[in-house]
Structure 1
Amino acid sequence: MSNFLVAGVTQIETIVRVDKIPVSYAPLTSVQDSIYTAMGGDAYNESLALKWLGDEVTFMSIVGRNQDLGLINPPDRKITLSTDYIIPQMKETPTEVVLYDKQRKQQTFEDIKDLRENVYDMNVVTPIAGVCDMMVLANANFCRPFAKTAAELKKPIAVNIRNYNPEKEKYNTDFLEPAKVLYFSDDTLSEDPYDFIDRMASSYGTEVIILGQGSEGLILFDKTKNIKAHYKTVKTNEVVNTIGAGNALFACFLHYYMETGDSVNAIKNALLFASYKIGYMGTSNGFMTVEQLEQWRNLIWGIKKTPFEEQGA
């Protein structure tokens, strides 16, 4: 079990299932069980996944002044996140609407409200950062001081850059330079994926890079182990909704990577975790248990328990 400080965006997400993207115009479309609304956001989802896997999690975020924090922890969920460090200081909570179809295409509409103008009280952060094992950050503006604090305290940093944009790379150097682990999605990537990883690794000295490739799987780079390999997706569930799968994968990888230091075993567990997740509606639903992960891992790859697991640590 590791102690994670997670900082990033919390938002209200509405997920809409459509027949095909782009959507054809119709004055009214009425389909039962096709719209789902709940709290979400990359860092929120990652916090839930880490907590589900048994880690200690301190989640720090900013929401609207009138936001009902009770929505952070719906009554039917088995785990809860502390809301002590979710600060209601924005005019409104950020909002996102995602359309998705059977071909796994997605179209996202995002409204971050006044998020860029808000800052987080770092006096609260420093003592908690001092005792955490890793800081997991989104590349939101208010998270920049978190990256600086982590570097000063010599704490490892993992950053979910989400969609890469070469024109905005210079604005992300505060996160790219100190990060030990980086996660990207190839949704907007225009260059060869292996060339991209080589460039990121050589430019910033990153130890571990994960490049998510949707239904094609992912590429794992580990500088220490001299690994740069593609891993295909695995199937444990029928696909219902792929939104949030990347957050689940990233969180699960960090859980096992921090526990064992084995990036290959961690990424295989993460692929399983994400494959199960896509069988459920909603970005914060459908997490596989540690026991299920072990069973599926042994079934697919024949991986025995690690020495760490055998010791019952």
Structure 2
Amino acid sequence: MGSKVVVAGVSSLYMAMPVEEFPLPYTSLRFPDWMRAEVSGAACHIADTLRTLGDEARLCTFVGEDVAGEAINASLRARGLLGPGVVKVPRSSLGVVLVAPDGRRSGHPYVAAVNTAEYPVEVFRRLVRDVDLAVLTNTAFVRPLLGHARARNVPIAVDVHLITDIDDAYNRPWLEVADIVFCSHERLAGPPEQWVASVFERYPGCAIAAVGLGGRGCLMGLRDGTLIKAAAVAPRGVLSTAGAGDALFASFLHGWLATRNPVTALKDAVLHAGWKVGDTFPSTASLTEVELARLRESHPIATSLGRWDTAA
């Protein structure tokens, strides 16, 4: 039986298309080789990954009463995510992803339409009541929900994405309540090991801190000083890295909740994320737990153990 997880954040209608290179040269007209319209957004992707792996995912999100909202509702319904936590607002959030031949992506989320809305606290309080974990993405309308999750004494997981500073003013409310923290390496000012050590020093409530390293896998620290490194693998090659961090984050949370073993959970997370980037729209491609176990047999993940607190 899977875990119960509430996921709060954005669900968006996205367009994805290829480009020849970055930076993108100007042209007045372009005929791309492919283009896809799909429903994604961090919360939607995380919830869908968890649900496909076998967990009960309760999605708290906004969907607009517009054309985009019709598509979002249809996708959420088909994926088993349309529930009482999906709240109507006038306009939907949107996004565009440009994808280079090597899989690098340039994301352009438009979330202003939902970030000015106030998510109904009582809806969230009902859905978070008996869950095993609250995944609270760092979109603006989720901030008022942080204290309610903490008041329920529910473990909290956050992904602060492209953060640069351990004392970042915007992300600090999330970091202060988080038990599990993920982020990307892309904009960190120093080595990922240094970031992990800084998280544990600055935020004493954090038990697990991880840094996604893109094509180099993931580095994870535990409160007891353990450092785990898992090498990346891409069983189907790399077509798009859009949403790879969300895939890594969600897949780890599923494994951690199921086993409480951070090493095996991280290995499965790196493998699942590596498989998903072999799709032109990774957030709509997820494996079941059985399929992931089968893939694990043919694609073992190399890991190493060390210490993040050696210098201390």
- Give the TM-score normalised by structure 1: 0.89
Could you say which residue in structure 2 is the equivalent of 1:28? 29
Could you say which residue in structure 1 is the equivalent of 2:310? none
The alpha-carbon deviation at position 166 of structure 1 amounts to 2.5
CA contact (8 A) 1:39 1:72 kept: no
CA contact (8 A) 1:164 1:185 kept: yes
Question: Structure 2 regions of 5+ residues with no counterpart?
Answer: 303-312
Q: Secondary structure at the match of 1:229?
A: strand
Could you say which residue in structure 2 is the equivalent of 1:49? 49
Shift of the 168–14 alpha-carbon distance from structure 1 to 2, 3 Å rule, reads: farther
Could you say which residue in structure 1 is the equivalent of 2:287? 288
Could you say which residue in structure 2 is the equivalent of 1:170? 169
The alpha-carbon deviation at position 69 of structure 1 amounts to 4.2
Q: Secondary structure at the match of 1:28?
A: coil
Distance 1:101 1:222 in 2: 35
Distance 1:126 1:103 in 2: 43
Could you say which residue in structure 2 is the equivalent of 1:5? 6
Distance 2:112 2:176 in 1: 28
Q: 1:239-254 alignment to 2 at 5 Å?
A: 239-254=238-253
Could you say which residue in structure 1 is the equivalent of 2:72? 71
- Which whole-Å deviations, capped at 9, do the CAs of 1:175-202 have from their partners, x for residues lacking one? 1011111110112222222111111111
Shift of the 4–199 alpha-carbon distance from structure 1 to 2, 3 Å rule, reads: same
Distance 1:283 1:93 in 2: 21
Percent pairwise identity: 25
Q: Secondary structure at the match of 1:125?
A: helix
Could you say which residue in structure 2 is the equivalent of 1:229? 228
Is 1:212 equivalent to 2:212 in the alignment?
A: yes
Q: Secondary structure at the match of 1:20?
A: coil
- Which whole-Å deviations, capped at 9, do the CAs of 1:235-274 have from their partners, x for residues lacking one? 3112121111211111111011011110110000111111
Q: 1:131-210 alignment to 2 at 5 Å?
A: 131-166=130-165, 169-205=168-204, 206-210=206-210
Aligned length: 299
CA contact (8 A) 1:236 1:275 kept: yes
Distance 2:123 2:301 in 1: 45
- Which whole-Å deviations, capped at 9, do the CAs of 1:98-140 have from their partners, x for residues lacking one? 2121233322223222333211111112122111111001112
Could you say which residue in structure 2 is the equivalent of 1:272? 271
Q: Which amino acid in 1 is paired with 2:215?
A: S
Could you say which residue in structure 1 is the equivalent of 2:305? none
Q: What is the RMSD of the two structures over their aligned residues, measured on CA atoms?
A: 2.2
Shift of the 113–55 alpha-carbon distance from structure 1 to 2, 3 Å rule, reads: same
Q: Which amino acid in 2 is paired with 1:12?
A: L
- Which whole-Å deviations, capped at 9, do the CAs of 1:140-176 have from their partners, x for residues lacking one? 2221232211111110000111110439712222110
Could you say which residue in structure 2 is the equivalent of 1:127? 126
- Which whole-Å deviations, capped at 9, do the CAs of 1:70-119 have from their partners, x for residues lacking one? 53444996x32124321122x42122212121233322223222333211
- Give the TM-score normalised by structure 2: 0.89
Q: Secondary structure at the match of 2:177?
A: coil
Shift of the 139–100 alpha-carbon distance from structure 1 to 2, 3 Å rule, reads: same
Range with bigger deviation, 156-165 or 226-235: 226-235
Question: Structure 1 regions of 5+ residues with no counterpart?
Answer: 304-313
Is 1:40 equivalent to 2:8 in the alignment?
A: no
Q: Which amino acid in 1 is paired with 2:150?
A: A
Shift of the 184–257 alpha-carbon distance from structure 1 to 2, 3 Å rule, reads: same
